[in-house]
Chain A
Amino acid sequence: MQELLQSLAPWLSDNAIFTPSTLAQYWGGFVNTVQLVFISLVIGLFLAVPLAIGRASPSRLLSKSIWVYTWIFRGTPLLIQLYIAYYGLAFIPGIQESVVWPLIRDPLYPALLAFTLNTAAYTTEIFYGAIKATPRGELEAARAYGMSPLLAYRRIILPSALRRALPAYGNEVIFMLHASAIASVVTIADLTGVAYNIYSRYYAPFSAFIFVALCYMVLSFAIQGVFRLLEKRMLAHLKPR
């Protein structure tokens, strides 16, 4: 990265804003954003699969309690959840002496907590909808083959439901990327945070924010590309021939 910036230096010499030092800041923000979004999406995905199965289970207690969780996290703004995770948790009596304090003290972990729980809630509902939409015929065929419910889930329901959920999940990933722009309110220097810093330093809103918008667009296009490839492969059987 350093070498790349050095080689860019002469080309950038006649503008005040995009100096090697601010580009390095943008790069740092880019890394932080990708890291934050990627980690929360991965954990959120692994939480969402069992939660969606629980949500679709015949047990009303299990289903309803998971519904309450998704209802809370889908019913409140992510910004508020982030504030609660960052500022709120720090004021629980005794937490500053406990073993989790080093984690909560760092802005990264409260942000990860809020983002993960939020995306897990949305993803749970996406997967739950896909599971519910499994064609009856597939379920009956599985039962006719003598599959146990567990085996039917593993071989029939989940593979087909997760495939069907793919386009909606791709949207959720992009939404999450854009939602992560609020991370700077808890002092994380993500892409937006860096853009704010540079804007307030040089009083140049257009350059600072348009550049960061381009960064987000590049990321969005990359995500879209990945999902298009995935859909092409995994939903090939649904295509007209």
Chain B
Amino acid sequence: MKRLLTVSLLGAAIAAGSAQARDYDTVRIGVDIPYVPMEYRTPSGELAGFDIELGNALCKQAEIQCNWVEQGWDGIIPGLMSRKFDAIMSSMTINDERRQQVLFSDPYLVPPSAWFAPTDTSMKGVESDDLKGRNIGVQRGTVQDNYVTDKFGDVANIQRYASADDVAVDMETGRLDIAFLDYPTGQAALLKDGEYKTLGKMMTEPKKYFGDGFGIAFRQRDKALADKFNQALATLKSNGTYDEIHDKYFNEDGTSAPQASDD
């Protein structure tokens, strides 16, 4: 009897799953608010932000009716699993641990990495010659760590820290000549009082290192839905809509543009 029940429940679940898989007329998207400038509410209470606008554009392109569902960050993957919503678009970085639980779309945004040095640094740029013998600070295990280790591990002395704050402290003590962090982190930790500046260009290439950006998360079995979003994303990127939205929220170099509604 028990087994029969299990089997029939399983059958029902599969039926429900496949029914879900066939029609994606309405899709609920989970989002954790606020995370300026990616997702937030305007003073009048409307949703805004890069994720929101891009998400709406994607849904329009894919001819899907989308509803946004607010969900705190801690419960956002469980919320997806328990069908509170069908997708997550909330600045979620694609990584291997999450990949085991959810299915990611193609990355839709790669936050840039940047070099930070004291304003009075003697370094002219960030080529091998400039970095020779210098102390480079990175956060251990980040994409920046991997990049610097492979590219400058032979010429420079790379110091790995547990947190970006430790990097900032050792920039202050002068133990580090330069730090390589993801831009928003470095901006928050170092660019507040004009003692430091960015050196060289913002980096989002090569893809081998910086490729894992933000992705939209789906349940593993909703492959068809993910494909729809990927197709829509490719279309928006080719027809200029993506750039339009991007330029509204970010400067050319990937720094966040000032928002009138930021407060």
A106, closest chain B residue (CB)? B175
Tell me the bound Cα distance from A201 to B95 in angstroms. Answer: 12
A13-56 residues at the B interface, CB under 8 angstroms: none
- Quick one: CB contact mask for A174-217 with B, threshold 8 Å, 1 for yes? 00000000001101010001001101110100000000000000
| Residues of chain A at interface, number, CB under 8 A | 17
Q: In the bound complex, what is the Cα–Cα distance between A105 and B135 (angstroms)? A: 11
User: A105 CA to B166 CA in the complex, in Å?
Assistant: 14
Q: Select the residue from B97, B140, B145 with max chain A CB neighbours within 10 A.
A: B140
A90 lies within 8 A of chain B by Cβ = yes
For chain B, the count of residues having a C-beta within 8 Å of the partner chain is 16
Q: Is A171 an interface residue (CB 8 A)?
A: no
Q: Which of A90, A187, A201 contacts B161 (CB 8 A)?
A: A187
B173 close to A187 (CB less than 8 A): no
Q: Does B1 touch A at the CB level, under 8 Å?
A: no
Residues of A within 8 A of B141 (CB): 196-197, 199-201
* Contact A200–B174 (Cβ < 8 Å): no
In the assembled complex, B169 has its CB within 8 A of some CB on chain A = yes
Residues of B within 8 A of A196 (CB): 140-141, 160
Q: Give the distance in Å from the alpha carbon of A92 to the alpha carbon of B98 in the complex.
A: 44
What 0/1 pattern do residues 113 to 152 of B give for CB contact below 8 A with A? Answer: 0000000000000000000000000001100011000000
Residues of chain A touching chain B, judged by Cβ–Cβ distance below 8 Å, are: 87, 90-91, 96, 105, 107, 184-185, 187, 189, 193, 196-197, 199-201, 203
Q: List 12 A-B contacts (CB under 8 A).
A: A87-B166, A105-B175, A107-B175, A185-B162, A187-B161, A193-B160, A196-B141, A197-B140, A197-B145, A200-B141, A200-B145, A201-B146
